[in-house]
Amino acid sequence: MTGSIKVFYRVYPTEETDLENVVIDKQSNKVLVRRLQELAKNYTGSKKNFWHFQTDGVFLEARQDHIFEKIALDLLNDVMQGKTAVITAFGQTGSGKTFTVGGLNFAEKDFGLVPRIASAVFEMKREQPRNMKVCIEMSYIEFERSNAVDLLDDHAITHRKPFSKVEVKNEYQALKCIFLGEGRKRFNNAESGYASNLYSTVVTFYVTRRDTDLTNPTKVVSKLHVLDLVGNAYAKSSATHKEAKTIGQANVIKSELEQFVLCLTENMPERIKVKQRTNVLLHYLDGDLSNRHSLVFIGHITRLRADLLVTLSSLRFGAIVKGLKPKISENPYYMNEELELEYLKKELKACQREKYLDSVLLNQNLVFGLSSERIEHVDRTVCDYLNNHLDEMKMLNVADAKMVLERMKYTYKSREESIERLQAENQQLMVKSESSSLKIKSSKSCTNSSTSKNGKKSKESMSLKERRSSSGTLEKKVKIPASTEFHVSTEVSLTHKANKRKSTVENATKRSGRKRSISNTSVDRKDSRASIKSSSSYNPPLPDLVTDNMELWKQFTTSVSYKNTVEEYKFNEKELRSQFKIYLAEVDRLNKLKDTLDKCSRDLVVAQTFRKFNSKDELDENGNLVISFSEKSCQDQLESTRAQLLDQQEQTLKSQEEFKIFFDNRQSLVKKLHADFDAYCAEHNNMPCSNVALVENDLQQLFSMNADIDAEKLGRTDEELVTEVPHLNERIKMIKSLQELMLNEMKRRQYAKEKSKIQWKNK
Ligand SMILES: Nc1ncnc2c1ncn2[C@@H]1O[C@H](COP(=O)(O)OP(=O)(O)OP(=O)(O)O)[C@@H](O)[C@H]1O
């Protein structure tokens, strides 16, 4: 139906039998109308000639659901995909336009297009892909020739613009809007027994689709207008439900619409603009009533002889519309600014978090907050290590790495300094001895001494170098650039860490009851170094490669290796988060203990000061100072807090280490995905062109999606779920209550109108 223009006709059911003047050819979708001249009293000819009108379908005694399926269903599907459409019911007064569009006075099976659309739109919304957020809004406006009345606004202020839009979250809310609006419409209290509309009305469904896929943050707004044009007729026809004045106005509107369509047919943009300015309905529809969109016209005709002239007029209007050539329209895509903003906010948050994690992991305060005893202990360990008394792996706790490296540097430097000092002294001695010996000899001995000096130096250096090489690549470790500082700390006690990681991951796997291959999750040291290299030498793809990448990325995400890694990543992320929480709790406890320690020290000082000021120092038999009870208890308290603090420090370092293991694991999994994707690109594109953003965005999205699912499961806060429309009996009750609402609204309006009339008369 996209970009199409269709004209259908619905024939009013009648019991009369004299119907040969309007013939319906269902096979060829034609309506034939007898030439009026031949029906004149003075016509003497015997021939029966007919006007032929080609249509896109004629509904004769058709059911409401059939009309909805034939006309609105495909159109609505298009609207949900971002296309705009207009359905217009036109025809003479009393021919069934409001019945086709609304039918709200009847049982649900006889509901017309609008309530059916309201139900279907939410069904379609539910079927949308997860990344597509769809928002439905509605408006219901009544149009006089130069004014508009907002029927969803209780005060119904007459104005031109802006027209209010009401967001509807479910079918019930949408139906409520429709019934309320219907109750507020102005109608003629015709004796014929039905409410004949005085003005044209338009129900508009606004569909806003926001793609929450961060790689494609677009927003599309489409509209579906359903117009119920005021019934036109000639005053002398059988349609006598309205006053001549109202009928006259209706005819003017119909002829304006006709002229507008003619302007569209002849493509006269200036005239189109003028028409839109002078007619508020056309102004409201703006560019939507144009051949760029899907337009469906439903003409309502009768077959009665008395209505023949109006029927002919309606058919002619349809013929004009059919002359309008459809244009294919592009979907108007806008950048989803809200989503973009949300995305940037997320990015910012992620950066802040990363920064925070960095600072936590480097943990300057914790390391430098260590006691002097601990620093001494570390120094001793470093000396033992440098003297080959201690194995590297046993030497230290991973978390102390930075501290140890600092101390190591310091010790190393001081040793080198002392060596240099010794060498300088040696040199001085040599110079002295040289000056006392023969010149020739001295030059020789000088050479020898320098050789021996160099020899000594090299020996010294060698011994250090040997030690270094025998106990690990210290030099390398110290020289690792600042950007990989975090990895430096993790590399020092590698085997220990790898073992620990294995066991932690194993434990974690056992805890969650999931089987997982540990070899995959444990990070190989070499791999991790290699991946650091590869990530540092990573060049982002050129912009024109991104489209290719996107395609490849889509294919890649369905591959087995990707899915396995993502599963692993998810699991690791879960563990990482819980471990991070634990770590934060430990840090919190540590800080509290530090505060307590400070407090204990202050208490002790106060107790000691108090003793000193209030009594002279007393000594016991052994000559020891007798301290007060409060002082004693403060001291005990201080000691025990100190012990607790030390334990807590250990505990915090342990949890930090565990957290780092999962953190490392995450990095390596992301790198693994990059590498896999690189390989995939190389295989399918003959060149490695991985897009880091694709990998990261995808993982990020994975987690935001999970969060949504969780929220749904836990909270079920979505209004749509809460106010879901009930079924069967409940549904009948709901419809009845809505119909009551509509009738009450009608009565209320009628009463207000009568009252204002009386007031005006009394004035
Ligand atoms: N196809 C139909 N089947 C049964 N009843 C119908 C049908 N079409 C119209 N009617 C009935 O005819 C009456 C007039 O219909 P409706 O109000 O829809 O006409 P209308 O074209 O909207 O008139 P107006 O322009 O005066 O508002 C209503 O009582 C309606 O229920």
Residue 615, pLDDT score? 62
pLDDT at position 617, please? Answer: 65
Residue to substitute in 99, 109, 242 for testing ligand 1 pocket (most ligand atoms within 8 angstroms of CB): 99
Please say which residue of 460, 490, 520 terminates a domain.
490
Better-predicted residue by pLDDT, 641 or 331: 641
Q: Is residue 553 part of a domain?
A: yes
- The annotation status of 96 as a binding-site residue, yes or no, is yes
Give the range with max mean pLDDT: 111-120, 255-264, 671-680, 709-718.
Answer: 111-120
194 vs 189: CA distance, rounded Å: 8
Q: How confident is the model at residue 195 (pLDDT cuts 50, 70, 90)?
A: confident
Determine what percent of the chain is predicted with pLDDT higher than 90.
Answer: 15
Count of H helices and E strands in the chain?
Answer: 26, 16
> In terms of domains, do 124 and 247 share one?
yes
Are the C-beta atoms of 94 and 172 separated by less than 8 Å? no
The stretch 422-430 carries a mean pLDDT of: 78
Same domain, 485 and 498: no
Burial of 534 (0-12, 13-18, 19+ CB in 10 A): middle
Mean pLDDT, all residues of the chain: 73
What pLDDT, on the 0 to 100 scale, is given for residue 499? 43
Find the mean pLDDT for residues 511-539: 37
Q: What is the pLDDT of residue 480?
A: 32
Residue 106, classified by CB atoms within 10 Å of its CB into exposed (0-12), middle (13-18) or buried (19+), is: middle
94 is in an annotated binding site: yes
| Structure token pair of residue 742 | 């509509």
pLDDT at 626 over 50: yes
Cα(403) to ligand 1 centroid in Å equals 88
**Together in a domain, 329 and 389:** no
Check whether 577 has a pLDDT greater than 80: yes
Identify whether residues 202 and 246 lie together within a single domain. Answer: yes
Distance from C-alpha of 142 to C-alpha of 200, rounded to nearest angstrom: 6
Instruction: Give the model confidence (pLDDT) of 317-338 as tens digits.
Output: 888 888 877 666 655 666 667 7
- Grouping H, G, I as helix, E, B as strand and the rest as coil, residue 8 is strand
Domain membership flag for residue 352? no
Token pair belonging to 753: 């109108």
pLDDT at 476: 36
The predicted complex's ipTM stands at: 0.97
Distance 732 CA to ligand 1 centre (A): 23
Shared domain for 257 and 386, answered yes or no, is: no
**Which residues, listed in sequence order, are joined to residue 202 by a DSSP beta bridge?**
141, 227
Residues 19 and 166 occupy one common structural domain: yes
CA 299 to centroid of ligand 1, rounded, Å: 13
Percent of the chain with pLDDT over 70: 67
Residue 625 has pLDDT above 50, yes or no: yes
* Binding site membership of 93 for ligand 1 (Cβ less than 6 Å): yes
Tokens in use for 252? 């003017």
pLDDT at 160 over 90: no
Quick check: 569 and 522 in contact, CB under 8 A?
A: no
* Whether residue 98 has its Cβ less than 6 Å from ligand 1: yes
299 lines ligand 1 (CB under 6 A): no
Which of 101, 100, 92, 93 has the alpha carbon at shortest distance from 241?
93
Measured CA to CA, the distance from residue 586 to residue 649 in angstroms comes to 9
Distance CA 490, CA 3 (A): 63
Contacts of 543 (CB under 8 A, 6+ apart): none
299 in a known ligand binding site: no
Q: Which residue is closest in CA terms to ligand 1's atom 26?
A: 196
Counting ligand 1 atoms within 8 A of each CB, the residue from 63, 101, 194, 310 with the most, and so the one to mutate, is 194
* 548 membership: H or E segment, kind and range: helix 546-557
Please report the atom of ligand 1 found closest to the CA of residue 231. 25
Find the CATH number of the domain harbouring 131.
3.40.850.10
Task: State whether 305 and 272 are in the same domain.
Answer: yes
- Decide if pLDDT at 45 tops 80: no
Other Cβ atoms less than 10 A from the Cβ of 385: the count is 22
Weakest-pLDDT range from 48-62, 280-294, 593-607, 694-708: 694-708
Tell me, yes or no, whether 396 and 278 share the same domain.
no
**Which residues are 625's β-sheet partners?**
619
In the chain, how many domains are there? 3
**Residues 232, 608: Cα–Cα separation, whole Å:** 104
Give the pLDDT confidence score for residue 544 in this predicted structure: 37
Residue with CA at minimum distance from ligand 1 atom 12: 96
pLDDT at 332: 60
Q: Which of 1-10, 424-433, 692-701 shows the lowest mean pLDDT across its residues?
A: 692-701
| Digit-coded pLDDT (tens) for 705-732 | 333 333 333 333 334 433 444 456 778 8
DSSP secondary structure string for all residues of 122-158? HHHHHTS-TTEEEEEEEEEEEE-SS-EEETTSTT--E
Confidence of residue 205 (pLDDT cuts 50, 70, 90): very high
Q: Is the CB of 579 inside a 6 Å radius of any atom of ligand 1?
A: no
In a shared domain, residues 427 and 563: no
Q: For 458-465, which contacts have Cβ atoms below 8 Å and span 24 or more sequence positions?
A: 460/419, 464/386, 464/412, 464/415, 464/416
- Give domain status of residue 350, yes or no: no
| Listed ranges 19-23, 170-174, 461-465, 516-520; the one with the highest mean pLDDT | 170-174
DSSP 3-state of 60: strand
- pLDDT computed for residue 99 by the predictor: 95
Per the domain annotation, does 171 fall within a domain? yes
94 CB near ligand 1 (under 6 Å) = yes
Q: Is the pLDDT of residue 177 over 50?
A: yes
> Is residue 442 predicted with pLDDT exceeding 60?
no
Determine the straight-line distance between the first and last CA of the chain, rounded to whole angstroms: 57
Same domain assignment for residues 415 and 298: no
Residues 347-398: tens digit of each pLDDT: 888 888 877 777 666 555 444 556 677 777 777 777 777 777 776 666 655 5
644 is in an annotated binding site: no
Residues 207 and 314 in one domain: yes
Q: Which of 288, 314, 335 is the last residue of a domain?
A: 335
Query: Is pLDDT of 535 > 50?
Result: no
Q: Residue 96 above 60 pLDDT?
A: yes
User: Once rounded to an integer, what is the mean pLDDT over residues 470-490?
Assistant: 35
Please report the atom of ligand 1 found closest to the CA of residue 95.
21
- Identify whether the C-beta of residue 150 lies closer than 8 Å to the C-beta of residue 141: yes
Both 202 and 146 in one domain: the answer is: yes
Reply yes or no: is the peptide bond before residue 217 cis, omega within 30 of 0. no
At 102, is the pLDDT very low, low, confident or very high (cuts 50, 70, 90)? very high
Residue span of the structural domain in which 523 resides: 493-715
Residue to substitute in 9, 61, 90, 98 for testing ligand 1 pocket (most ligand atoms within 8 angstroms of CB): 98
pLDDT of residue 460: 41
| 355 inside domain | no
29-38, 572-581, 610-619, 728-737: segment of lowest average pLDDT: 610-619
Q: How confident is the model at residue 496 (pLDDT cuts 50, 70, 90)?
A: very low
Residue 65 located in a structural domain = yes
756 in any annotated domain:
no
**pLDDT of amino acid 347:** 82
Listed range (42-56, 127-141, 588-602) with the worst mean pLDDT: 42-56
Q: Is 95 in the pocket of ligand 1 (CB under 6 A)?
A: yes
Sort 359 into a burial class: Cβ within 10 Å, 0-12 / 13-18 / 19+: exposed
Residue 158: pLDDT band with limits 50, 70, 90: low
pLDDT band with cut points at 50, 70 and 90 for residue 532? very low
Q: Is 524 left (phi over 0), alpha (psi -120 to 50) or beta?
A: beta
- pLDDT grade for 435, boundaries at 50, 70 and 90: low
Residue 224: CB atoms within 10 A of its CB come to: 26
For residue 707, what are its two tokens?
């969060």
677 or 762: which leads in pLDDT: 677
Residue 291 pLDDT exceeds 80: yes
Average the pLDDT over 178-184 and give the result.
91
Q: Does pLDDT of 543 surpass 70?
A: no
| CA 586 – CA 578 distance, rounded (Å) | 12
Cα(478)–Cα(405) distance, integer angstroms = 7
Measured from the CB, is residue 13 less than 6 Å from ligand 1? yes
Residue 201's pLDDT is 93
CA 41 to chain centre: 72
Domain boundary among 335, 357, 386: 335
In sign, the C-alpha dihedral spanning 359, 360, 363, 366 is positive
The answer to the question of residue 735 being in a domain is no
